[in-house]
Amino acid sequence: MRRRTRHTAVVAAAVLLGVGAACAGPSGDGRPAAGQRSGPPAPAPDRPRGFTLVASGDVLPHDSVIRQAGQDATDGTYDFRPMLAGVRSVVASADLAICHMETVYGEDGDYSGYPAFKSPPQIAKGLAATGYDACSTASNHSLDDGAEGIRRTLDALDTAGIRHSGSARTATEASTPARLTSGGAEVAQLAYTYGTNDHPLPEGRPWAVSPLDERRIIADARAARKAGADVVVLSLHWGTEWQTEPDEQQLALAASLTASTTGGRPDVDLILGTHAHVPQPYEKVNGTWVVYGMGDQISGPMFDYSGRWDARGNQGSIGRFTFAPPAAPGQRWRVTKAEFIPQWMDTGTGRVVNLPAALAAEGDRDDYRETLESISASVVSRGAAKDGLTMGR
């Protein structure tokens, strides 16, 4: 069992260098009688202790993934827990864990992979069993099955006890970030996407999916802070598919969002990117960690725009960030440790592999080592190791 504060309803190249209640007095009103000494002073309120946050990339169930989950089930439905078991130790041991649910859910066996995804809703149970607390749901596939797809997805996540941000069933929900608490901090997660594959927003529901708009993001981040968020996390579905290097929009938006401040305090504390389907770099921008792209966590065999199979499409990273309480009131919660854990979707076995842990347990397998090195090279390609990023396990 992991020790963690559950959420409330209120959110290798360079790196291979380191893998009671007070007793009532006789008066009966809780006060000591005259001349009687009171007991020991009440304990001071718990001081903020800090927390760890992990985040992972695209959950993208292709047809082969759906078939594997069906084979893994014992009740005739779908079970995604075995698929994710390899990373459960990382996810479940964190205080807070965030996934990216790229697709929407179907119903009554009407499930499909690319190009119009409708995933089995049992995946929400699998994510919860793995230890995820919240998921971003804004992606270019958010409207693959219209408003009903969004409703089914968010209903299933609610049932599984997973918070969500980025798509919505109501206007009120759209304006409310996922809120979580841990270590004495209130964390707000906000999520946005660059587009919806030209699917129009449902009639009368312009708020159904949150767009990647700089002004809106900053306004939402400031509103979350004003509402009590100590830490603001952005999940951004952005970038150019199959491109390791962040594109111009990613670089420009990362710079402007991390430069935005209110009263001298940054409006954003962490940026988590998805969409490119390949591992992209981590980088500290204006003192704030940005993960341009975590790659895919769950996916079938991936083919690029030329139709060629690309092994990078099954590679990803889990980001793990340790936050410490502010040094003084009004200052930000600080990231004191930044790590990444290379992971791989082994499409042959239908399992997500924690590569550093697998190498330690199984010895120097060439496929594991080469994949780990490929992911690591991408992650540190913009100098993150010099800013303290290390590889975890």
Contact between 112 and 60 (Cβ < 8 Å): no
Question: What does residue 33 show for φ and ψ, rounded to 5 degrees?
Answer: -70, 160
* Identity at 281, one-letter amino acid code: P
Report the pLDDT averaged over residues 55-62: 98
- Is the pLDDT confidence value at 29 over 60? no
At the fourth CATH level, which superfamily is domain 51-391?
Metallo-dependent phosphatases (3.60.21.10)
Residue 46 — pLDDT band, cuts 50, 70, 90? Answer: low
Report the pLDDT averaged over residues 245-257: 98
pLDDT tens, 85-97? 999 999 999 999 9
Pairing of β 351-354 and β 334-346: antiparallel
Predicted structure pTM score: 0.89
Average pLDDT, the chain: 90
pLDDT tens, 86-137? 999 999 999 999 999 999 999 999 999 999 999 999 999 999 999 999 999 9
Regarding predicted confidence, which is higher, 13 or 157?
157
- Is the pLDDT confidence value at 344 over 80? yes
Backbone angle region of 189, left / alpha / beta, with phi > 0 → left and psi within -120 to 50 → alpha: beta
Report the pLDDT averaged over residues 19-43: 39
pLDDT tens, 60-73? 999 999 999 999 99
Predicted confidence at residue 17, as pLDDT, reads 33
* Nearest residue to 210 (alpha-carbon basis) of 144, 140, 267, 261: 140
Dihedral (Cα; 281, 286, 288, 292), 10-degree rounding? -20
Nearest-5° Cα angle at 103, 322 to 237 = 50
* Nearest residue to 271 (alpha-carbon basis) of 234, 224, 309: 234
Contact between 127 and 99 (Cβ < 8 Å): yes
Position of tokens 């969500």? 164
Report the pLDDT averaged over residues 376-386: 98
- Is the pLDDT confidence value at 41 over 60? no
**Domain boundaries in the chain?**
51-391
Lowest mean pLDDT among 30-39, 45-54, 154-163, 368-377: 30-39
